[in-house]
Amino acid sequence: MKYKMVPFTQNYLEPAVNLFINSYRDEQEKNPLLPSRAINEPEWILNTLKSLVTNPGVVICKGNQVIAYMVTGFLFPFKGQNAVLVPEYCHGSVLTDRKELYQRMYMYLADEWAKNRRHLHIVGHFAHDFILQETLYQLGFGAILVEQVRDFSAVNKINEVKITEEKDFKKLIDIDIEHSRYYPNAPIFIWKDTERKAVISGLESHSNNGDAFFVYYEQNKPCAYIIVGTSTIGAEGFLLQKTNTAQIKAAYAQPHVQGKGIGKALLQRAVQWSQEHGYERLFVEHETSNYYGGNFWCKHFNPYVYFSLRYIDNTIDY
């Protein structure tokens, strides 16, 4: 394949956006619940990429045609490492020679990242792009997060249990602390702030944002809960922002009530709330290694974006 690789600059914004939109259309065909904002408002994606244009990036051209691009998204500490994230809108390519295009782009940028002591590499990619998924796997990546959506059809086989819409978030402080303490354990191994002050602040923020708290009680004690509200701006679910999407913000069931249909009853209440408030879909993001939660969500939602992660040796002198 004859092509040239050049640094990503502002001159390549429009063809990059077109490549991304083509990839998004392909994913939307597989998952029609996805909104069309990215397609109808290409300037949204263009302006987002424009804000990242000074970051390391690469373009592959064949003649005068841009056939692939990849741009560094965000830098942050994660899992004790310096991480780099390439979100799903920061890369794209034509279908022909897709595997080799991505191999070349990753090799180019990984060298830049390693020289800058960025040893943890994360790439967001569409769930049904199996060529890219396999390419990343061969490059040493593994899934860490998934974003999923569902419609408002009824959750199957719900037990008749009482679910309460709780207006006083303070009643959930202790169970939310317990929820945060769940994540550092195997097989997830993700740190969460369990300080009481931080947990209260998080719950209060949900309350101030108008999120709904649905709770299952036993003997007046919360044993399971789910928080649902408008999809977060500036965080997870980028492609769903400002698209009339509801989001599961948090959910947890204590071990003694798991497997009894409580989670499904809570989810059904969240689905009903979302429909009643005029949303068009329901979204959840979760860790793929979350044995209990992940298996539950995968039964009731459809994936559209995965985030895959690769560690590289931080003892090598690059």
Question: What is the full DSSP assignment across 152-170?
Answer: SPPPSS------EEES-GG
How many other CB atoms are found less than 10 A from the CB of residue 154? Answer: 9
Task: Clarify whether residues 133 and 258 are in a common domain.
Answer: no
Does residue 314 form part of some domain? no
Q: Taking each helix axis as running N to C, give the angle between helix 13-30 and helix 42-50, from 0 to 180 degrees, rounded to the nearest 10.
A: 130
Task: Clarify whether residues 189 and 277 are in a common domain.
Answer: yes
Cβ atoms of residues 164 and 215 within 8 Å: yes
Task: Clarify whether residues 53 and 113 are in a common domain.
Answer: yes
The tally of domains found in the chain comes to: 2
Does residue 289 form part of some domain? yes
Does residue 114 form part of some domain? yes
For the question of whether the overall pTM of this predicted structure is more than 0.85, the answer is yes
What confidence tens digit (pLDDT) does each residue in 226-271 have? 999 999 888 899 999 999 999 999 999 999 999 999 999 999 999 9
Task: Clarify whether residues 24 and 103 are in a common domain.
Answer: yes
CA atoms within 13 A of residue 219's CA, in its CB half-sphere = 0
Can you give the residue range of the structural domain that contains 213? 164-305
- Tell me the average pLDDT across 281-285: 98
pLDDT computed for residue 2 by the predictor: 82
Does residue 10 form part of some domain? yes
- Write the CB contacts of 269 (distance below 8 Å, at least 6 apart in sequence): 163, 165, 214, 226
User: pLDDT tier at 94 (50, 70, 90 boundaries)?
Assistant: very high
Q: Distance (Å, rounded) from C-alpha 86 to C-alpha 174? A: 36
What is the CATH classification number for the domain harbouring 215? Answer: 3.40.630.30
| Cα dist from 152 to 63, 197, 203, whole Å | 47, 35, 25
pLDDT computed for residue 157 by the predictor: 82
What confidence tens digit (pLDDT) does each residue in 112-167 have? 999 999 999 999 999 999 999 999 999 999 999 999 999 999 998 888 899 999 99
Q: Distance (Å, rounded) from C-alpha 216 to C-alpha 247? A: 19
**Number of residues written out for the chain:** 318
Task: Clarify whether residues 237 and 202 are in a common domain.
Answer: yes
Task: Clarify whether residues 180 and 289 are in a common domain.
Answer: yes
Does residue 40 form part of some domain? yes
Task: Clarify whether residues 236 and 189 are in a common domain.
Answer: yes
Task: Clarify whether residues 128 and 205 are in a common domain.
Answer: no
Taken in order 264, 266, 272, 274, is the CA torsion positive or negative?
A: negative
pLDDT computed for residue 125 by the predictor: 98
Task: Clarify whether residues 114 and 216 are in a common domain.
Answer: no
Q: Does residue 318 have a pLDDT over 90?
A: no
Does residue 318 form part of some domain? no
What confidence tens digit (pLDDT) does each residue in 22-78 have? 999 999 999 999 999 999 999 999 999 999 999 999 999 999 999 999 999 999 999
Amino acid type, 152: F
pLDDT computed for residue 113 by the predictor: 97
Task: Clarify whether residues 47 and 127 are in a common domain.
Answer: yes
